[in-house]
Structure 1
Amino acid sequence: MDDRHLIETQQSSEELLKGRFLHAFRDTVRLPDGSSAVREYVKHPGAVMIIPLLPDAAGEMRVVLERQYRYPVKQVMIEFPAGKLDPGEDILACAQRELQEETGYRATEWARAGVLHPVISYSTEFIEVWFARGLTLGERQLDEGEFLDVFSATPAELLQWCREGQVTDAKTLTGMLWLQNVLSGAWALDWRPAA
């Protein structure tokens, strides 16, 4: 497809904020019709989200989830484990690190599901979605100032929480879509051993 009739071209850029985590800009762009507009956005280093699969004693599949207070929305949210990439970090290594640090679990097998862009209107953020299985529990290593609860639920429970509005986190809702399609056999995963 030829998308030239949709492309905006940067004319100038102004840095608004450079924090420890976020980097905000205000750009002037030329629109496809030749006029100008202003775009404000945040540069983000990227992140990973993990969908950890945990069979229970009866062999029923469960997923590992977290409950964490998110200051911007002033709520405790139910989420899949996730975290941002460190500079130069390999994406799978980041997923393995975040799963272990936040939940204490290590996985013997990993499968990349895909990528999502949670807020395309004002951020460059992308989140790589990974599945993990063959979990063994060890010690968590939470970051300083990080507080969260780890628990497990069945996919049916998670789906109900999504439907009822208890889960509103965009990445977790997307993860539920992936999980449904993987469990139904509609979407296949390419599993590989942990490095």
Structure 2
Amino acid sequence: MRDKHLIEVKESTEEILKGRFLHAFRDHVTLPDGARATREYVRHPGAVMVIPLLTDGQGILRVVLERQFRYPVGQVMIEFPAGKLDPGESVIQCAQRELAEETGYRAQEWARAGVMHPVIAYSTEFIDIWFARDLTLGARQLDNGEFLDVFTATPDELLGWCQSGQVTDAKTLTGALWLQNVLAGKWSLEWQACASATA
């Protein structure tokens, strides 16, 4: 109860919008001082992001990235592979599926890094962060209406793009932070072999 002076209590809720992707609500809440307020937010099923590690023919570590047009911001963005969970799907199954569908890569080893909440002011969305390595390349299986380029970069190149503002996607910036600290030996990962959920 140490945070009681911060917590808002939901009194009622109403659905504002139910679209093909967005599901928005307006809640009426009581504030810690007893005042009333409304909170509008989007419910989201959750998502995953994958940081795929690839060693090229010269033994240089590279990461697999994507370039995709994002309509709300009107820009082609550099991102790590990611996608939302399907109903009944575990986060590791989602990570394996999204990596294979979007990039064609399948990984023999996986490590869960953590979780992030990208837009805490107006969405319940969480993104589970996974690393993948020992990659083999196969065919992509993009969704209908999905268009993206897949490419690789060195960690230094990615970090340079983050610094210069070429990469502004929040999940990819968080992934770059994880990548930097893992490669520096400051943050550890527990790798495990995982049978492919997409096989």
Q: Scaled by the length of structure 1, what TM-score is found?
A: 0.99
Matched AA of 2:188: A
Match of 2:179 in 1: 179
Q: Displacement of 1:122 after TM fit?
A: 0.2
Structure 2: gaps (5+ residues): none
User: What residue in structure 1 maps to residue 74 of structure 2?
Assistant: 74
1:146 lines up with 2:146 in the alignment: yes
Q: SS in structure 2 opposite 1:111? A: strand
**SS of the residue 2:159 aligns to:** helix
Matched, 1:31 2:60: no
Q: Where does structure 1 lack aligned partners over 5 or more consecutive residues?
A: none
Offset at residue 57 of structure 1 (A): 1.1
Task: Output the amino acid matched with 1:21.
Answer: F
- 2:8 matched to which residue of 1? 8
Q: Following TM superposition, by how much is the alpha carbon of 1:12 offset from its aligned partner in structure 2, in angstroms?
A: 1.3
Partner AA of 2:22 in structure 1: L
Q: Which runs of 4+ in 1 moved over 2 A?
A: none
Distance, in Å, in 2 between the alignment partners of 1:161 and 1:148 is 19
Query: What pairs with 1:2-151 in structure 2 (closer than 5 Å)?
Result: 2-151=2-151
How far has the Cα of 1:22 moved from its partner? Answer: 1.3
Task: Give me the identity figure in percent.
Answer: 76
CA distance in 1, matches of 2:118, 2:22: 15
Tell me the distance in 1 between the aligned counterparts of 2:194 and 2:56: 21
SS at the partner of 1:42?
A: strand
Separation in structure 2 between the aligned mates of residue 145 and residue 190 of structure 1, nearest angstrom: 36
Classify the secondary structure of the residue corresponding to 2:131: strand
Q: Which SS does the other structure have where 2:72 is aligned?
A: helix
The alpha carbon displacement at 1:91 in A equals 0.7
Cα offset for 1:78? Answer: 0.1
Query: TM-score when scaled to structure 2?
Result: 0.97
Matched length = 195
Q: Give the whole-Å Cα distance in 2 for the aligned partners of 1:30 and 1:129.
A: 34
SS of 2:160's equivalent in the other structure is helix
